[in-house]
Amino acid sequence: MPRDVPARPRIAIVGANFAGLSAAQRLGSDHAVTVIDGSPWFEWRPGIHELVSGTSRAADLRLSRARLVSRAGHRFVRATVTDIDARAGRLTTSDDRQVEFDACIVAVGGVVNTFGVEGADRHAMPLKTVEDGVAIGRKLATLASGKGRKSVVIVGSGLEGIEVLGEILRRYRGRQSLHISVIEAGSRLMPGSPRALDQAVRAHCAGLDVDLLVRTAAAKVTRSRVQLAAGGSLRSDLTIWTAGATAPDLIRAAGLSGGKQPWAPVRKTLQSRNFDNVFVAGDANVLRPRLAKQAYYAMQTGQFAAINAMRAVAGRRLREFIPVPKPMLVAFGDLDTFLVSGRSVIASPTLAAAKEAVFQLTMAQVDPPIGAVQLRALTGRVARAVRR
Ligand SMILES: Cc1cc2nc3c(=O)[nH]c(=O)nc-3n(C[C@H](O)[C@H](O)[C@H](O)COP(=O)(O)OP(=O)(O)OC[C@H]3O[C@@H](n4cnc5c(N)ncnc54)[C@H](O)[C@@H]3O)c2cc1C
Write out pLDDT tens, residues 301-336: 999 999 999 999 999 999 999 999 999 999 999 999
Mean of pLDDT values over 146-152: 95
10 Å Cβ neighbour count for 271?
20
- Classify residue 360: in a domain, yes or no: no
Total domain count, the chain: 2
pLDDT computed for residue 293 by the predictor? 95
Residue 221 has pLDDT above 90, yes or no: yes
- 95 with 199: CB under 8 angstroms? no
pLDDT computed for residue 5 by the predictor? 58
Q: Examine the domain organization and report whether 92 and 39 are in the same domain.
A: yes
Q: What's the pLDDT band for 373 if we cut at 50, 70, 90?
A: confident
Write out pLDDT tens, residues 278-295: 999 999 999 999 999 999
Q: Examine the domain organization and report whether 24 and 172 are in the same domain.
A: no
Q: Which of 47, 322, 332 is nearest to 193 (CA)?
A: 332
10 Å Cβ neighbour count for 62?
16
- Classify residue 354: in a domain, yes or no: no
How far separated are the first and last CA of the chain, in Å rounded? 64
Q: Examine the domain organization and report whether 187 and 261 are in the same domain.
A: no
Q: Examine the domain organization and report whether 88 and 63 are in the same domain.
A: yes
Mean of pLDDT values over 221-246: 97
- Report the alpha-carbon distance of residue 192 to residue 263 in Å, rounded: 20
Question: Measured from the CB, is residue 45 less than 6 Å from ligand 1?
Answer: yes
pLDDT computed for residue 1 by the predictor? 44
Domain closes at, from 176, 210, 241: 241
Q: Examine the domain organization and report whether 57 and 202 are in the same domain.
A: no
Q: Examine the domain organization and report whether 182 and 226 are in the same domain.
A: yes
Q: Examine the domain organization and report whether 77 and 148 are in the same domain.
A: no
- Average pLDDT value for the chain: 94
- 11 with 281: CB under 8 angstroms? no
CATH code at 82? 3.50.50.60
Query: Alpha helices, DSSP H only, in 215-276?
Result: 249-253
- 227 with 98: CB under 8 angstroms? no
Residue 6 has pLDDT above 80, yes or no: no
Q: Choose the residue to mutate in 18, 21, 42, 45 for probing ligand 1, maximizing ligand atoms within 8 Å of C-beta.
A: 45
Q: Select the more confidently predicted residue: 244 or 380.
A: 244
Q: What's the pLDDT band for 372 if we cut at 50, 70, 90?
A: confident
Report the DSSP pairing between strands 150-155 and 238-241. parallel
Q: Choose the residue to mutate in 108, 112, 241, 330 for probing ligand 1, maximizing ligand atoms within 8 Å of C-beta.
A: 108
Mean of pLDDT values over 189-210: 96
- Report the alpha-carbon distance of residue 129 to residue 60 in Å, rounded: 13
- Classify residue 4: in a domain, yes or no: no
Q: Examine the domain organization and report whether 157 and 105 are in the same domain.
A: no
Count of residues for the chain? 388
CA 242–ligand 1 middle distance (angstroms): 14
Q: Select the more confidently predicted residue: 385 or 365.
A: 365
Q: Which of 343, 320, 341, 340 is nearest to 331 (CA)?
A: 340
Q: What's the pLDDT band for 370 if we cut at 50, 70, 90?
A: confident
- Classify residue 237: in a domain, yes or no: yes
Question: Measured from the CB, is residue 46 less than 6 Å from ligand 1?
Answer: yes
Residue 273 has pLDDT above 60, yes or no: yes
Report the DSSP pairing between strands 245-246 and 111-112. antiparallel
- Classify residue 89: in a domain, yes or no: yes
In terms of residue numbers, what domain contains 233? 120-241
Question: Measured from the CB, is residue 243 less than 6 Å from ligand 1?
Answer: no
Highest-scoring range by mean pLDDT, 253-257, 341-345, 382-386: 253-257
